[in-house]
Amino acid sequence: MQLKTKHFGEITIEKEKIITFKNGLYGFEDQNRFTIIENNDKENPFQWLQSIDDSNLAFVVINPFIFKPDYDFDIPDSTVDKLEIEDPKDLLIYTIAVVPEDIKDVTVNLSGPIIINSKNKLGKQIIIEDKRYTTKYYIFKELEQMDGEE
């Protein structure tokens, strides 16, 4: 399938790589089909969650365990059921990043992770009610702290 995108031009998407978000994402409930566009630079951990239906809509996403290995939350049973999760190994977890002009001020939303069942390509964004996590978590501050501990 050919997809014209604002940020990547025309790209080819394999139908089996389309992820269905039955309820969309928060603030984008009408957007139900996305795909992950991986970064060509394997050293760069950021990827994109590109809407299939709105070529202008793409979110920068990252696996939160890269910069926050102790990130921990429970996936509600209702989400496990909706995504038909049978094995935790099938899960992909992403957080949406906001990338300002100064890259050192990148923040991620640890309160609203995106859960994807890689086996059946169903996804859902959940809200975590945990005071440890915020919608504006500065990842480079965490990485600097991790480097200082080594």
- Per residue in 63-99, pLDDT (tens digit) is 999 989 999 999 999 999 999 999 999 999 999 999 8
pLDDT category at 139 given cuts 50, 70, 90 is confident
Q: How distant, in Å, are the alpha carbons of 70, 108, 112, 119, 121 from that of 105?
A: 21, 10, 19, 34, 32
Q: What is the pLDDT of residue 44?
A: 87
Residue with tokens 């696996």: 63
Dist CA 21 CA 25 (whole Å): 7
Q: What is the mean pLDDT of residues 49-72?
A: 94
Bigger pLDDT: 143 or 118? 118
Structure token pair of residue 84: 């038909």
pLDDT category at 42 given cuts 50, 70, 90 is confident
Q: Domain map of the chain by residue range?
A: 2-149
Q: Does the structural domain 2-149 have CATH classification 2.30.290.10?
A: yes
Read off the pLDDT of residues 100-114 as tens digits, 9 standing for 90 and up.
888 889 999 999 999
